[in-house]
Amino acid sequence: MSESLMPRALVLGSTSRYRRELLSRLRLPFETAAPDVDETPQPGESPAALALRLALAKAHAVAAQYPDAIVIGSDQVADLHGQPLGKPMVHDKAVEQLRAMSGQSMQFHTAVAVVCKASGFAQADTAVVRTVFRPLDDAEIERYLRAETPYDCAGSAKSEGLGITLLDAIESDDPTALIGLPLIRTARLLRAAGLLLP
């Protein structure tokens, strides 16, 4: 097979184990690379715009290292009434987030970008997941956080685990988006970039 007909390598521009596990469902060989991107929100930037900007920035950063590969970048921002909630990283911050989310409806914006520097391909899309948290008391929050320690998750809860017990509803047209990578949109973008799926 000539080099021009060889399928391009696939690189996930993320160190997230959640994204790695999700992408492996597509049964495509891929490698991972850490994107070196400043994730600080810009002044006045909405959670949706932040997620999309960071997904594109991560894909472009890794594509600069792997110019012949198809690169996936992704980012998720929790949105509580227009305010972005990041990863809590520590227990006290997670408690604060879950108290704020108690009894509230909020959105998670999960953006995915696919970039191939060699072909000039660059597209992105965002899945929006609406969640409704049931009213939570401090004892429930404490029990949950001690059981699951979701400090590396935007919004301090893992819907794919015990965090599902904190919710009254999840609404999305891309079911894996809440975990960190919207696979329906990812597959669509990979097909557009020239990969064969399934």
Contact 134, 77 (CB under 8 A): no
Q: How many secondary structure helices (H) and strands (E) does the chain include? A: 5, 7
**Identified catalytic residue from 75, 79, 125, 174:** 75
Q: Which residues contact 11 (CB under 8 A, 6 or more apart)?
A: 30, 31, 32, 33, 62, 66, 69, 70, 71, 72
Clarify whether 92 is annotated catalytic: no
Q: Which residues contact 118 (CB under 8 A, 6 or more apart)?
A: 8, 67, 68
Measured between alpha carbons, how far is residue 147 from residues 31, 92, 173, 181 in Å? 31, 15, 29, 24
* Whole-angstrom distance, CA of residue 103 vs CA of residue 181: 26
Q: Determine the Cα angle at 83 with ends 80 and 87, to 5°.
A: 80
- Look at strands 83-85 and 121-133 and give their pairing: unpaired
- Look at strands 70-80 and 105-116 and give their pairing: antiparallel
Catalytic residues: 75
